[in-house]
Amino acid sequence: MVNAETVTVWSLRGQPQFRLRGGRVGPPNCITCIIPPQTRSEGDTWERDPLFPKSLNTKGFGSCARGDLAAKTRPHFRQLGGWLSEKQLPVVYSNKYNISLLGFEHLHPLDSQKFRHVLGALKSKGLVNIRKVVKPKPASDHILGLVHSADFLADIKRKWRMVKLTEMLPLVALPNMLLRDKILKPLKYHAGGTVLAAGLALERGWSINLGGGMHHASHDKAAGWCAFADITLAIKHLRKATSGRIQRFLVIDLDAHQGNGYQRDKLHFKDEDLYVLDVFNTQKFPKDDEAEVAINVAVPVKCGTSDAEYLTKLQVALEQVAKDVNPDFIIYNAGADILRGDRHGQLNVSPEALVYRDQLVFRFALTTKVPICMLLSGGYSRIAAKTVADSIQNLFKTFDLK
């Protein structure tokens, strides 16, 4: 477990959150939570509002589930790997998520085996085994065609497109068919996993894809290892599968980088039922001002942003979202590239704060009784996989996920 302290809560203006006696406001939560040491000062004390109930929801994430819709939508997910059994968890993973390219993958700071490492850490903690996870199939061209044109799907198979996508010039020396098999095929599995995980969240109220989150991909562009617009795909597929009964989507994007892909899709498809909260480093890629117009609550941070500032800004943003929108579904893009030491994210957030961040978002979903689908997205530091596994372990324990 992370080095942290369990405390109880204050409530303020009807919103669950924390307040130090000294007047500083901390992140929102209910019941108990993890307070990263970096967000506390020596001598700080916390107290509980006696009016706040011990539990907002005794049914846990079961109250977020939409079992009526889940039963009707199952046939729409058969080509993506089927449904989960009673003994399985709504955790989606395939060994084919991981990219191995004759050693060339080591030329990029991306940990192409991160997904396997996360699963391995979860297995060592006794949380999951390979029989408990749901295995996706790759997204077919038919599924991808909900967002991408036939011209795009043909163009992405060109060698130079794949080289640009991966930012690895030496790949020009490899055969095109090899690149398709070793790069595009795993990313199709990620896309299929995201769409499948979104459906499974209707069944249990929550789901986690141990991959996905290709938030730089849009309907007509691939970038930054994001080949397919899996977030937009999940939104469109779930709307179609539920005949529009799941219509209003909230994307909470806490990857260190702006999620310009689905944001461009929001503008392109004129999607007025998509609400976006994005906390991102404005000093890093992609710096997409045109896409930023699509963000409803933009939370800019800069290189070196640490725990207290990050968590406080997230708190304020979630409070604003709670006032603005009543979503049917939450997609949570939970990038781990906010961690200190990640040279691509360049923030200074501790592992403890990342664990707490994820708990805040899941608590938000539980409080609002909205199903949530979590995607792993970015994360390039050596501690990313372990920290993600620690966070998922905390979510299982805190919310008794089943």
Cα 213 from Cα 206, distance rounded (Å) = 16
Q: How many CB atoms lie within 10 A of CB 42?
A: 4
pLDDT interval class at 108 (50, 70, 90): low
Per-residue pLDDT, averaged over 91-109, amounts to 81
Q: What is the pLDDT of residue 38?
A: 43
Q: When comparing pLDDT for 106 and 301, which is higher?
A: 301
Q: Is the pLDDT of residue 128 over 90?
A: yes
pLDDT tens digits for 309-336?
999 999 999 999 999 999 999 999 999 9
Q: What is the pLDDT of residue 59?
A: 66
Q: What is the pLDDT of residue 385?
A: 96
Q: What are phi and psi of 50, to 5 degrees?
A: -65, -15
Q: What is the pLDDT of residue 100?
A: 84
pLDDT interval class at 115 (50, 70, 90): very high
Q: What is the pLDDT of residue 104?
A: 62
pLDDT interval class at 106 (50, 70, 90): low
Packing angle, helices 260-268 and 230-241, rounded to 10: 50
Burial annotation 358-375 (CB, 10 A radius, 16+ → b, else e): bbbbbbbbbbbebbbbbb
**Residue 216 falls in the annotated catalytic set:** yes
Q: Out of 216, 219, 237, 344, pick the active-site residue.
A: 216
Residue 97: closest CA among 225, 275, 288, 269: 225
pLDDT tens digits for 173-187?
899 999 999 999 999
Would you state the structure tokens that stand for residue 379, as one six-digit string?
């994360």
Per-residue pLDDT, averaged over 72-96, amounts to 95
Predicted TM-score (pTM) of this structure: 0.87
Per-residue pLDDT, averaged over 193-205, amounts to 98
Residue that the structure tokens 């608590």 belong to:
363
Per-residue pLDDT, averaged over 24-31, amounts to 36
Q: Is the pLDDT of residue 47 over 70?
A: no
